[in-house]
Chain A
Amino acid sequence: MLQILHDRIIRFKGSLLGFDDLDAFLFSQAESNPMFGYLESIEQEGVGFIVAWPFHFFPEYEFEIEERVKEELRIAGHQEVVVLSLVRVKEPFTESTANITAPLVINLSNNEGRQIILQNEHRYGTRRKLLRLAEPSGSGGDAC
């Protein structure tokens, strides 16, 4: 899924909050799982993020990209865009979460990206668990 981004340098123009002075990040796709990748700063050593394709993990996830973001990134159509979520690994790793309140939106045609913050923040969440393990009791849960 994220193969198309492999080895590309994406420019976020300081839009990653907390990393406002960083622009260029190199993306590499995880070899064994196309839903994951790694995004590392080429400007500051040691700054890197595990990222995931959120729609695989949260099938109900959807949002509209604001017009002004489309203009900034010069997005003309949906086929040009890839969305990533930052993953926070936790111990144990089964507790790892994704931030779907503040996705990274990337225009494939010019390798420009922005972290945007979705206004309806309560519906999304900055700490959504990636793994939905079987519930300990009751409530059924997804069998997969």
Chain B
Amino acid sequence: MQRQLFALLLFLFLPLAQASQPITIGVLSHRGDEATLAHWSGTADYLTEVLPDYRFSIVPLAFEEVTPAVEGEKVDFILVNPAIYVNLEVRYRVSRIATMRNRWGDDAYNTFGGVIFARAERYDLNSLSDLKGGTLLAVNESSLGGYMMALREFKAAGIEPYRDLRDVSFAGTHDKVVMAVRNGRVDAGTVRTDILERMAEEGQINLNEFRIINEQTGEDFPLLRSTRLYPEWPFSKVRHTSNLLARQVSVALAEMPEDHPAALLGNYAGWTIPLDYQPVHDLLQELLLPPYQYSRQFTLLDVWQRYWAWLFSGLILLLIMGGLTTWVLRLNRELSHAKQRLEQRHALILDSVADGIYGVDTQGNSTFVNRAMEEITGWKADELIGKNQHYLLHHTRADGTPFPGQECPVYHTFRDDKPRYVDDDIFWRKDGSSIPVEYSSTPIRDDNGKVNGAVVVFRDITERKKAAEEARQHQMELAHVSRLSTMGEMASGIAHELNQPLSAISNYTHGSIRMLKSGQEGIRRELIEVMERVASQAERAGEIIRQLRRFIRKEEPERNAVDINQLIRELVNFLQPELQKAGVELQLQLEQGMPLLWAHDIQLEQVLLNLTRNAIEAMQELPKSSRRLLIRSSVLQTEVEVLVEDSGQGIDEAMRESIFEPFITTKTQGMGLGLSISRAIVEDHGGTLLLDSAAGQGTRLRIILPIEQRGA
């Protein structure tokens, strides 16, 4: 109920309360919050009284609370020691509007210092250097009178407290420092001037209990001190506080009587216009304290101390980057090694293949070639790469006609994107000779799948062709031999068959003759019987002959369309080794567009083979330079003529008549059947085989065959 009433009252008076704007004064609470409020509330009340539009209040701030309060604009005015003030001035544009006049007894003074003291019985402690190895208790690192001033004096005496003293520690408030020294917990303490005197006055201590170290006198300063003097605490406005209010407060403070109750309460003697705080600046500069912590010569250690986190992170970053770089470099090196190895392997594979391999771009130029390619063609890689492969390798067809680039299968490959295989073609060597080849051409694509050339793999098929030719030749020879041996067997079979009746006839007749000669009687019947047997044996022989004829007729060969030029080319191919061996110079004159013949190709080939072999053999006696063979094909109106002419001795007139007869031969080895069989074959085809020869002028044989329609 009471609470509600209070709230109601507060509510009623709110407009009144609003009329007086609250103003806060932050005060460094160096002796504890209670003491601070007790000392300074009077001053706030005084200001509220003088400036009724405002309601001033005190906010005690511990050392570490000062900066956040200013920074966060939690206070409008600030009352702190000069060192803190200098910092705030520099960092937060705080500006002093009055300097406190301190009071001691009846005197007022606006400077203060620091006092370093020990327990009175420590006779050993007189000068600052006596404290080396000892312990020192101060108020706070930011306390001007309670630490910094003493520090400055230590340094001036060549003593680095942190280095030379066993321990430097901080108690937080002046009073605690004094009590700690009094209790003997530390060797010495330092507080601002007047603390000892005030505590003594308050009865907390007795001044006799302490001795002052490095005691300073003079300058008309009444209090115990060990350091130089510095201006007293300034009363300052914080940046956001209006200048008008600041001026009003400044005037109010300046007008505060020396003995105003608020001043008495605060143990001061009013305020003066703000003093010069240069000595404080000097001190801070000397001690390299904020805001002068940067002004000293930067040593690497300082850099490290100040920026170690950055440096450390930087260093780590640098290390990571270095590591990464190394890793990337190594990866790169490994990749390039791998690439190199791959390329080497690639090249090794390419070069170890016996087939020629080369690449072609869409312009038709070679992009790469392998070793086999160089070896087969005689062209070097640098003579091929970037050059048009078709005009180097492929310019002319096997039959000697030019091979236009548009028709090159390799180019077709990347035009229609289809692989090709050509099993019989020729490539040209650098030296102008040609090589029979089979090759495949495969399109190659770029990363986008677009055809950007072709790879050609080719093989020298000289051996293959030679082997095929040899196989063919072998087969032909076999066929020839088998034909001959069939003939031989048949001949021998016929001979045996005929021999039987002939032997019987011979025996019977000779026996009969003997009988008749001997003149025996009564043998007539017997003789007639024998003669009948003779007659029947003769008939038996006749039957054998008839059977033979029937047998031969059964072997009527099949005919088909024959390109006589093709036949001649095949024959020449087949006979090439023999021609070379015999040193015969062959001249082929084949008329283009010969009509097809309806013939038995094996038989015609047999005829051509017989005539050609005869011709080769006929020139054996001649010097090599004059062994010439001409094979010519031509079309006569309704006939086809093939002429085989040698440059041999010819055939003399006597032989010419019988040369086509069986078993007539001019050769030391031979059955004399070649020409007779050949004539029989040609005549069987409805043609004629003519001899045109004169002794010493070579032999010319002409095969004339009618151009017949199929089935004719």
Q: Do A and B come from one complex?
A: no
